[in-house]
Every structure is written in structure tokens, then in C-alpha cells.
Amino acid sequence: MATTPPLSDRTLNRTLLERQLLLEHAETGVADAVEHLMGLQSQTPASPYPGLWSRLPGFDFAEVGELLTGRQLVRLVLMRGTVHLVTAADALRLRHWLGPMLERTFRGSQWAAGAAPAERGAVVDYACGLLREQPRTPAQLRTAFADRFPEADPASLVNALRSWVPLAQLPPRGVWGVSGQPVYGLLEDWLGAPLTAPDPQDLVRRYLAAFGPAGPADMQKWSSMTGLKEVFAGMDLLTYQAADGRTLYDLPGAHLADPDLPVAARFVADFDNLVLSHADRTRVVPEAYRSRVMTVNGIVRGTILVDGFVAGTWRFDRAKGAAAVAVTPFVPLSAADREALTRDGLRLLAAADPGVAHEVAFTAG
């Protein structure tokens, strides 16, 4: 493996933004962007929408709903045991690859003891039969499990099922502006195709193309998968040294962004994988702000980037006949950054909440 000089934090920052389609708006389609990013976290169903809006010029919020109902995009439990929006092909690949992690995570969860009295095979067979009849909500599954497996906790069995069986959350859940409970269907039935075993080396290449340069610990943070050191070691990758001495890997010939490249202030969605996919998140989230972005109860707030690094948070505020983007900077903003965020915030509101009054408000942290 060839070795090159250490990479500065700013080089890592600019390169990550470029690969995340956040350095400049990407001229690509929605499905292609979702595939390149290897999905967007969708634990909160609305999160992918501002995430894609920040990356794609002219992004139409309605298009994701069309792709979901057309079964080209899917929402299901994947990386880190959280719901992600991915392409249909990636749903089948990634669910196969992540299956062992999902089962391991469930075995260590608070739900494992409640599911233990029921025999796994019987639960899977019964649930698959129900879901082949028709999609079911968690409440409907709990009721059915309580009748069939009275010795077990029905809520625990529903949580177990998400690990034991590839399930999709079916639309209209995940369609912009539509609320309601999740409705589960069998992933392979919904897509009309079986799970496919991906080449782990291909997944490493794709991860690096979207998040690199990076190391096995970073990909583990993104995915919660273990055993990645061996996969990296078996590949012909370029190696770098980070400023702190860590070894980072990259694809041969992959472009590194200019560390001095100016970056306009911009919005990043809540739960965006930009801030969740590295063991050392300081390439985009300064350590001093980490607890203000990622709360102890698992909330990951929407953020603003100033000079490429997180410098505040934002959220939607809605009232009857009005919608606002509320920005909370962690640092004083220059007039240019404030103007850029105001302009982009109004554009975001026009896409997300047309037909009502719009405002971008800056509040004290």
C-alpha cells in the first residue's frame, strides 16, 4: 500500500463534504443520490427530506413519496439498528449483510428477556403468515402475539421480529406530510426479490466513496458491524495518516478536496449520517459542540455548517398559516453567513411548506 503525507483536519472536512454532496449541489437524481450515500437515516420519517434538499438542486419533496410508493426506495431497519431510506437494491443487499448485527443487538437489548419464552421459529412462521395475508401495524402484531404466545411479552416479540425477519415500513409512512403508525410488510414480498449477499469489499469501497478517507472503526461506527479490520486488510487501498496519527484508508485515485476551499453556510438535516458515520466526528462536529448536537436520549439535531464545520442547530417551527426555520448559532455569525442561511432557510420553507407565511428566525443558544 502506498503511503502519503498526513491529512489535515480541513482536508478531511472538505473531502467529506464533497463526498457527501454538500460541497456543491449535486447534479444527480434522487435515487442515485440515495444510492451514493448508502441511505439516509429515517428513524424520524421526515429527516431525509431536508437531507436531500441540502444536496440536490431543485429537489422536489414529492419525488421521495413517489419513489417509495413505486418501490424504488424503501424504509427499513439497517445501519446502527435504525430506520434508513435506501434504494430497493440496497435494501436487499444491506439487510442481508447487517442481519447478524441486528440479531446481536436484539440479544443485548431490554426486549430479549420478554421474547425468550416464545420459540423463535414459531414466532417467525406465525408472523410471516400474518404479514403475507396483509401488512400489519405494531399494535396489530402485538394483539396477535398476545393471543398466540401468551407466555411472552408481545411488545418484545414485535421488537424481535424486526431483527429476525427482513421487514419494510410501507408507505404512506415516510411520505412527506403524511403521519401515522408504521405498517410492516415482508421486505422480499414488497420488492418481489430475495435478499442478496453483497461483497464486503464492495461495501467498503462504497463507504469510502461516500465517507472516506476513513478506517475500520469509522465504518463500524456507521454500520455497527464488526470484523471490518480483516476486510480492509485484504484490499488494495491507499493509506493516509490523520493529524492525530490514525491510519485512514481511501480508494486509489480518489480525489482529496482543497483544504482552503471556501464553503458557504448551509443546513444539514437532523439525524444526518454526515455527523454519525465516523469514530472521530471532529472532522465536522467540533468536540465542544457534540453534546449540543447529540443529546443523551439519542436525538441528533439539525445543524448549520459555517466554514464546513457544525456551528449551530436548526429546527422547523410550525403554526397555523405559518412555518419558520429557527436557527440557534453557537458562534456569532458574519453578515454573509447570516444572509446565506436566511436565503437558504426561505428556500427550504418554500419547498417544505408552500402556501403559508415563512420566516427564518435566529435565536440565542
Given a contact cutoff of 8 angstroms between Cβ atoms, the answer to whether 74 and 87 are in contact is yes
CB-based contacts of 148-153 (< 8 A; 24+ apart in sequence): 149/117, 149/118, 149/122, 149/123, 151/117, 151/118, 152/114, 152/115, 152/116, 152/117, 152/118, 153/111, 153/114, 153/115
DSSP category for residue 282: G
Q: What pLDDT digit, counting tens, does each position of 226-238 carry?
A: 999 999 999 999 9
Q: Give the start-to-end residue ranges of the domains of the chain.
A: 9-191, 285-362
26 has a pLDDT exceeding 80: no
Coil vs helix vs strand at 131: helix
Residue with cell 449535486: 26
When pLDDT is cut at 50, 70 and 90, the band that residue 27 belongs to is: confident
Q: Which of 200, 136, 122, 124 is nearest to 161 (CA)?
A: 124
Element holding 222 (H helix, E strand) = helix 216-223
Q: Is the dihedral of CA 36, 41, 45, 46 positive or negative?
A: negative
pLDDT, tens digit (0-9, with 9 covering 90-100), for 80-129: 999 999 999 999 999 999 999 999 999 999 999 999 999 999 999 999 99
Q: How confident is the model at residue 361 (pLDDT cuts 50, 70, 90)?
A: very high
Over range 347-355, report the average pLDDT: 97
Mean pLDDT of 340-349: 98
What percent of the chain stands above pLDDT 90? 95
pLDDT tens per residue, range 139-149: 999 999 999 99
Q: What is the pLDDT of residues 184-220, one digit of tens each?
A: 999 999 999 999 999 999 999 999 999 999 999 999 9
pLDDT category, 4, cuts 50, 70, 90?
Answer: low
* pLDDT band at 180; cut points 50, 70, 90: confident
Q: For 132-141, what is the mean pLDDT?
A: 98
In SS3 terms, 194-221 reads as CCCCCCHHHHHHHHHHHHCCECHHHHHH
pLDDT digits (tens, 9 = 90+) for 292-304: 999 988 999 999 9
Q: Compute the half-sphere exposure of residue 282: CA atoms within 13 Å on the CB side of its CA.
A: 9
Identify the band that residue 1 occupies on the pLDDT scale cut at 50, 70 and 90.
very low
